[in-house]
Amino acid sequence: GPREWLPFLIPITWLVFWQAGLYATRERRSGLGRVASSLVLVAAITLAFGLGTDYDFTTSGLIPTAFVTCTILIGLLRAAYDSFASELQRVLRARPRALLLGEGEGLATLQRMLTSRGGLGYEFVGALPPRSDESLAERIALARPDEVILSEGDFDEPAVLEVVETAHRAGVRVRIAPKTTELLLQRGEYVPGQGVPLFELRPPVLAGADWAVKKAFDLTVSSLVVLAGLPVWVLIALAIKLDSRGPVLYRDPRIGVGEREFGMLKFRTMVEDAAELQTELEERNEAGGALFKIREDPRVTRVGRALRRFSIDELPQVLNVLRSEMSLVGPRPLPLRDYQQLQPWHRKRYHVLPGITGLWQISGRSALTFDDLVRLDFYYIENWSIWLDISILVKTIPAVLAGRGAY
């Protein structure tokens, strides 16, 4: 009967509205047409439940009436809310801080249009011309803007790319007026409600529902690995202690999301003074670019060599995942020595949490050049889905058992 299935309509309605973008922020929220289409879907689901349980719809016009009433009420309530929010924003002066990039009449026109009727309103914290003695990074640090807005036609493509990377590295949004590069507009999203057409260039980071799904997946799998693998961890700890002096776990300084340092946990596989010995071994480095790898590394212990053969030394990194320092899947975090040798174009990989495994793990690992590793990271960042994570984890198992690229 209806008492059994009617309570489920509330979460179903929430889910339909969320999927349709009705709960997004005001500037990205779907319009009244999407509200109407979502209500049609909810009505269809209600009708299907009713027919499936032989519910007697005594009033034939009940669903159409409810549909029209809900559409009108939601439209009126949203209009009232938007009006109230705009007025509250004006009274509290809670406007986003914007740094304008450009010069001349184009810049003046852009600022005039952004402050005209129809925009949400900005607090302008300055302007920076394309050719300035002051760098964008310095101005961002000084002005602390929420957004950087580029005026049309004042920057060539390399300059726009540099602006985007610099701003995103500082955690600042980038919005760009039309007539700039087609290359970047492929990653742009139209931002309505600003009084002038703007496209926001988002950094390739996970947010909202994507972030929640990945986070829940990471925590669930990591917790299971810790609980199920505890007896094995104890045996590994005993083997390490019996084989050589030093701690069981090694905290390796690595660079993570936002280019912040953290301690990546591993089972110790080297002698205690391994870091000091690396300087003497630099000339034997077999990896290209920023990586340091030696096939027959004399610093590795006997137990450590077995652990590395099947990547068992990486298991404690699930604790980093539980501490939100890493993810199960993502770009590999680099040691400080390797990080210091990066080129500017490599740094996009630090927009997301580093991973225990990734495309690099199933594509050759240590056999890859560093530039190849970075390109795989970029592909992962731009094409993330939970199914990609699951696929990489599944493919990691045979790659680890085969020991491909592990040394």
Q: How many CA atoms does the CB half-sphere of 374 hold within 13 Å?
A: 20
Q: Which residues of 349-358 are buried (b: 16+ CB within 10 A; e: fewer)?
A: bbbbbbbbbb
Contact in structure between 280 and 233 (CB atoms under 8 Å): no
> How far apart are alpha carbons 378 and 373 in whole angstroms?
9
How confident is the model at residue 279, as a pLDDT? 62
User: Which residue is it, tokens 């020595």?
Assistant: 337
Mean pLDDT for all residues in the chain: 75
> How far apart are alpha carbons 282 and 337 in whole angstroms?
11
- Per-residue pLDDT for 335 more than 80? yes
Secondary structure element (H or E) that encloses residue 109, with its range: helix 104-115
**Mean pLDDT, to the nearest integer, of 301-322?**
89
**Do β-strands 198-201 and 188-191 pair in parallel, antiparallel, or remain unpaired?**
antiparallel
Helices (H) and strands (E) in the chain — how many of each? 15, 11
Quickly list H helices, 244-367: 274-281, 302-309, 317-322, 336-339
Q: Which two tokens stand for residue 98?
A: 């914007």
- Per-residue pLDDT for 26 more than 60? no
Quickly list H helices, 20-103: 32-52, 62-92
Least confident range from 3-12, 71-80, 241-250, 353-362: namely 3-12
How confident is the model at residue 355, as a pLDDT? 93
Overall size of the chain counted in residues: 407
**Do β-strands 173-176 and 198-201 pair in parallel, antiparallel, or remain unpaired?**
antiparallel
What is the pLDDT confidence band of residue 223, given thresholds at 50, 70 and 90?
A: very high
In the chain, the domains with their CATH numbers are 2-92 (no CATH), 97-201 (3.40.50.720), 208-402 (no CATH)
Q: How confident is the model over 86-139, as pLDDT tens digits?
A: 666 666 656 778 898 888 777 777 777 776 544 456 778 888 888 777 888 888
Considering just the CA atoms, what is the radius of gyration of the chain in Å? 27
Least confident range from 201-210, 317-326, 381-390: namely 201-210
How confident is the model at residue 24, as a pLDDT? 61
What is the pLDDT confidence band of residue 356, given thresholds at 50, 70 and 90?
A: very high
How confident is the model at residue 180, as a pLDDT? 37
